[in-house]
Amino acid sequence: MSKLGCRCGAIIRDQTDDLPYKGEILKDQDRNAFLDGMLDEIVGYIAAVRNGTTEAWYASRPGLSVRPDSWLIDDILSAGLVKFGVEVFECPECGRLWVQKGVESLEFVSFVREEPGERVLPSEHYRAPAG
């Protein structure tokens, strides 16, 4: 998604990283499958490094290219989020939440806060990259 029109008239843009009004939801019923899949991939890669079989490991995963370990693990985790996570956006104007209907869906469902308050999607941990 690159743009989503909110019912309040605002346009919610998704055209960069580190947006304070965007998040992902990992459904509780998918949590174990997500974690198990990530652990299997990472442990499999570590085993391939130890056994000297990284070429075969990469060959069995089309689309992955040889990269530094930290980038590869980032790719593995990102692929898991793409497979299991649904996007959520918080309108910067009205605070309405827009939740993706499903991983493959381009449709979003909106939810309105019952009482006004602070935004819920900005991170408590985020630090902007130095630059």
98: which DSSP letter? E
> For residues 84 and 103, is the Cβ–Cβ distance under 8 A?
yes
Closest CA to 22 of 31, 13, 30: 13
Q: If you average pLDDT over residues 49-67, what whole number do you get?
A: 90
104: which DSSP letter? T
Report pLDDT digits (tens) over 2-19.
899 999 999 999 998 899
What confidence tier does 27 reach under pLDDT thresholds 50, 70, 90?
A: very high
86: which DSSP letter? E
pLDDT at 103 over 80: yes
Q: Give the per-residue pLDDT at 73.
A: 92
pTM, full prediction: 0.83
Closest CA to 26 of 96, 90, 92, 77: 77
3-state helix, strand, coil in the chain (%, to 5): 35, 20, 45
Q: How far is CA 85 from CA 24, 50, 90, in A?
A: 6, 31, 16
- Residues 7 and 112: their CA atoms lie apart, in Å, by 11
